[in-house]
Structure formats: structure tokens, C-alpha cells
């Protein structure tokens, strides 16, 4: 449940910050008349993400077992690729995200209502589709027959919306760079588990070999139905009897990705400042340092 909460929080907060920046800029520049098309674009983006998630969930139920495993494994790998790109992208661009969005919004204001709707839709829609795909893959990997994974995602998204509102009101200031660095690092760990589970799905679909070639089996020590086995599965997608290929892929992804992401220099660095906007512009003008 914690892993899914983290996904909802991390992905939802990115979208909340985008919305916060767009709305605050229009309010501070006296263009409240443009808020309606912005909210329309945001609403369409949210509806598209929800529809995409429902299509994944209900569409996969009509497939055979092998087809379900093949689809789940393939989309899990795609989701890991997208979320890995996203956490690196956010750390690199956080320092100029505000100015980038302001530039797009200025151009959209000059073009009219349709451009405003499209700007908001594109800004939020990408986050929504990535979130829907990764949440589906993570829930598929960690599902234990209970609604806890979905509850974790919902709580994470609700927390993100609340934090976004506090940012907008100027009531909350945190070091966003450190927040995205640490939550991004934890998300990489979660993604490694999703990747390993995706490989297992493809093995069960008979797309790749090695299903019976286990690296180890500690089911007797950590029973999957025990509270601690359930906790490890929910947080890290831990499996007590992984295949050799699963363990290999997990290690080859996690170790270099986490090392590069946490490196203080290079393309993983995110030095700069992120301003937290608000309605009046005074409280939100204080920079939050990103180091």
C-alpha cells in the first residue's frame, strides 16, 4: 500500500504544481477570464487518464490468462521506462518549470480559448496518462485481492491535491528539489519491483524462458500470506521465489539507475530555484532552493 501511496503522491504532486502555476499566473496577471478554459483542459485530461485506466483494467479481463500476463508484463516494462524518464526529467527541469509553463501560457493567451484548453490539457494530460499506466502496472503487480493498493493510490493523490492547494495559498514551503529527489529515489525502488514482476508475467505468458529456474525460494521463511510478506510485497513488490532472470533484471535496473539519479552532478542534478506561486504574488515570490 505504501508503494502505491508514494506513486499517487509523487505523480499527483507534479500535476498539482503544474495546475498551481497555471492558475496563479492567470490570477496575478489579471486574466481570470481565462480560468474557465484552463479548468476545461484540466478536466478533459483527468477524464482521459481515468478512461485510460479503466480501459486497461476492464479490457484486460476479457483476455485469456496468457494474453493477460503478456499484456501486464509488456505494459509494466513500458510503465517503468516512462516513470524512469519522468523522475529524471522532473529533477532536471524543476528549476525552470515555472518559466516554461508561463511561456506556453502567454502564447496560448494570444491564440485564444482553444489554445488555452490545449495547453492545460497537454500540461496535465501527460502526467495523468503516465500515472494511470504506472498505477495500473503497480496495482497489477502488488494486488493481493484487496482494495488496499487502490486505496493507497487514492490517499496519495488526495495528499498531493491538498499540498498543491497549500502551495497555491502560500501556506507551505518545502525544498521541492529534495522532495522530488528522495521520492524519486523511492519510486525507482518501486519501479524495480514492477519491472521484475513484469518479467515474471512475460515468463508466465511463455514469451521468455526461465519460469522454473528460481534464484531462491524463501517462502517458508517469508510466507506470502503473512503480514510481513504482504508488507514487503505491497511496498517493494517483493516475491519470495523469484526467477534468476527476475533478480538479474531487478539488480541491473536498480543499482545503476539509483546511483545515477542520486548523483550530485551530471544530467541527474537539479540545481536552481523553484518559486511557489500564490494569488497575491508576494507570499509565493519567495524561492524554494533546489539543490
Q: Measuring CA to CA, how many Å separate 216 from each of 19, 66, 238, 240, 245?
A: 47, 25, 13, 8, 12
The grid coordinates of residue 21 equal: 502555476
Share of the chain above pLDDT 90, in %: 7
pLDDT at 79: 83
Q: Which has the higher per-residue pLDDT, 225 or 81?
A: 81
Mean pLDDT of the chain: 76
* Local confidence band at 285 (pLDDT 50, 70, 90 cut-offs): very low
Grid-cell match 490539457, residue found: 121
Could you report the per-residue pLDDT of 152-208, keeping only the tens digit for each? 778 888 888 888 788 777 655 666 667 777 778 888 888 888 888 889 989 998 899
pLDDT at 289: 42
The grid coordinates of residue 280 equal: 497575491
- Report how far residue 83's alpha carbon sits from residue 184's, in angstroms, rounded to the nearest whole number: 9
Q: Which residues of 41-78 are buried (b: 16+ CB within 10 A; e: fewer)?
A: bbebbeebbeebbeebeeebeeeeeeebbbbbbbbbbe
pLDDT at 91: 72
pLDDT at 269: 43
- Report how far residue 212's alpha carbon sits from residue 147's, in angstroms, rounded to the nearest whole number: 30
pLDDT at 90: 73
pTM passes above 0.75: no
Could you report the per-residue pLDDT of 118-142, keeping only the tens digit for each? 877 877 777 777 778 877 777 766 6
- Report how far residue 157's alpha carbon sits from residue 19's, in angstroms, rounded to the nearest whole number: 14
Q: Which residues pair with 274 in a beta bridge?
A: 288
Task: Write the CB contacts of 186 (distance below 8 Å, at least 6 apart in sequence).
Answer: 6
Could you report the per-residue pLDDT of 219-278, keeping only the tens digit for each? 888 877 776 776 677 666 778 888 999 999 999 999 999 898 888 644 444 444 444 444
Could you report the per-residue pLDDT of 17-66, keeping only the tens digit for each? 777 777 877 777 777 777 888 888 888 888 888 888 888 777 777 778 88
Sign of CA dihedral 107, 23, 166, 16: negative
* Local confidence band at 67 (pLDDT 50, 70, 90 cut-offs): confident
pLDDT at 282: 40
Amino acid at each position: 500500500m505504501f508503494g502505491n501511496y508514494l506513486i499517487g503522491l509523487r505523480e499527483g504532486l507534479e500535476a498539482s504544481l503544474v495546475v498551481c502555476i497555471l492558475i496563479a499566473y492567470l490570477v496575478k496577471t489579471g486574466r481570470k477570464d481565462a480560468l474557465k478554459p484552463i479548468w476545461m483542459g484540466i478536466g478533459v485530461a483527468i477524464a482521459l487518464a481515468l478512461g485510460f485506466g479503466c480501459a486497461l483494467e476492464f479490457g484486460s479481463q476479457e483476455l485469456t490468462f496468457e494474453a493477460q500476463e503478456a499484456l501486464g508484463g509488456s505494459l509494466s516494462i513500458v510503465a517503468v521506462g516512462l516513470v524512469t524518464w519522468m523522475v529524471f526529467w522532473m529533477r532536471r527541469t524543476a528549476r525552470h518549470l515555472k518559466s516554461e509553463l508561463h511561456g506556453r501560457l502567454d502564447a496560448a493567451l494570444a491564440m485564444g480559448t482553444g489554445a488555452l484548453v490545449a495547453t492545460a490539457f497537454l500540461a496535465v494530460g501527460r502526467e495523468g496518462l503516465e500515472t494511470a499506466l504506472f498505477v495500473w502496472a503497480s496495482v497489477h503487480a502488488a494486488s493481493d485481492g484487496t482494495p488496499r493498493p487502490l486505496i493507497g493510490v487514492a490517499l496519495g493523490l488526495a495528499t498531493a491535491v491538498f499540498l498543491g492547494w497549500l502551495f497555491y495559498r502560500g501556506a507551505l514551503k518545502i525544498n521541492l528539489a529534495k522532495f522530488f529527489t528522495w521520492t524519486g529515489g523511492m519510486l525507482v525502488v518501486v519501479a524495480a519491483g514492477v519491472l521484475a514482476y513484469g518479467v515474471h508475467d512475460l515468463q508466465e505468458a511463455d514469451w521468455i524462458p526461465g519460469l522454473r529456474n528460481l534464484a531462491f525460494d524463501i517462502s517458508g521463511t517469508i510466507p506470502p500470506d503473512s503480514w510481513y510478506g504482504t508488507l514487503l510485497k505491497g511496498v517493494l513488490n517483493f516475491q519470495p521465489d523469484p526467477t534468476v532472470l527476475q533478480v538479474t533484471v531487478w539488480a541491473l535496473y536498480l543499482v545503476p539507475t539509483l546511483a545515477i539519479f542520486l548523483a550530485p552532478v551530471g544530467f541527474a542534478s537539479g540545481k536552481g530555484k523553484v518559486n511557489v506561486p500564490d494569488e497575491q504574488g508576494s507570499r509565493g515570490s519567495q524561492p524554494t532552493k533546489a539543490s
